[in-house]
Amino acid sequence: MPTTAPAFSDATASDSALRRLLFGLPGVDAVGLEARAASLGTRSIKTTAKAYAIDLAISMIDLTTLEGADTPGKVRALAAKAVNPDPTDRTTPRTAAVCVYPDMAATAAAALAGSGVKVASVATAFPAGRAALDVKLADVRDAVAAGADEIDMVIDRGAFLSGRFLKVYEEILAVKAECGAARLKVIFETGELSTYDNIRRASWIGMLAGADFIKTSTGKVATNATPANTLLMLEAVRDFRAQTGTQIGVKPAGGIRTTKDAVKFLVLVNETAGEDWLDPHWFRFGASSLLNDLLMQRQKLSTGRYSGPDYVTVD
């Protein structure tokens, strides 16, 4: 089973030791955090830089469908769009992944075979995470066996909010062990964690337990990714690498719908974590509608005309 970073092995030896570490983290200045996020969001981007940012953002998208009405046909159509987002312009980058429920992972894997686009699958009783651990682990095994390259798990927010931090940590460890070669994204559902201090603590639990990515949200609650909570998580991965040498990715998800939004988040990445994270291997957008706006803005830059939503496919 994976173990925590050697520099922090003692901190995860017991519930009390982990609690000491988490409550010893610096408190978050909420006013300062939100002010910095807002300030970075006002940065202007010139035309050539905007073109680069749009292509980078497209390449970072986990194109997502997580609905009860999902069908194999819908998943295959989404996979085709991920591989070839704009049929009129073959220079358009592919997206990073297609994200689906475990029962659709095999369909996505078949549709994406040989394309380089990853299959991501939510698991662990997404989105609520209200299931026994053996059920959650079976969910992960099924997704990996069906061809998932990446697993997006949800933490037990009830355990976290009641202070059972070691339970959260050990559950992530167990899920990580079931992932095998698949990369693990750990979703905190930041909108349910109530405070920025809790988001910082959850980030450290996820990183210590071996997450390959830490992720803001499921996209299924009222408050999802925001510049402020993403900035806080970027600070966490930056500080974690400085102390352990291990780089962890970040994935904001839910509510990011426009090119303007995406560019703001890329500025946050560059100014907070640094250029090393400006890569689909280390930063993703969890989105279903963002891609269309990026494509329309990309067409406008290349043709000088705004095409409008009728000129891109409906997901």
Point out the residues that are catalytic.
Answer: 152, 215, 251
How big is the CA angle at 67 (ends 214 and 264), to the nearest 5 degrees? Answer: 45
Backbone angles phi, psi at 187, to 5 degrees: -95, 130
Contacts of 186 (CB under 8 A, 6+ apart): 153, 155, 172, 206, 209, 211, 213, 214, 215
How far is CA 143 from its chain centroid? 17
Q: Tell me how far apart the alpha carbons of residues 139 and 148 are, in angstroms, rounded to a whole number.
A: 12
Other residues' Cβ atoms within 10 Å of the Cβ of residue 135: 11
Residue pair 230/202 in contact (Cβ under 8 Å)? The answer is no
Other residues' Cβ atoms within 10 Å of the Cβ of residue 187: 29
DSSP-derived secondary structure letter, 120 = E
Structure-token pair, residue 227: 């510049």
Contacts of 150 (CB under 8 A, 6+ apart): 97, 118, 119, 120, 121, 182, 183, 184, 185
Residue pair 106/166 in contact (Cβ under 8 Å)? The answer is no
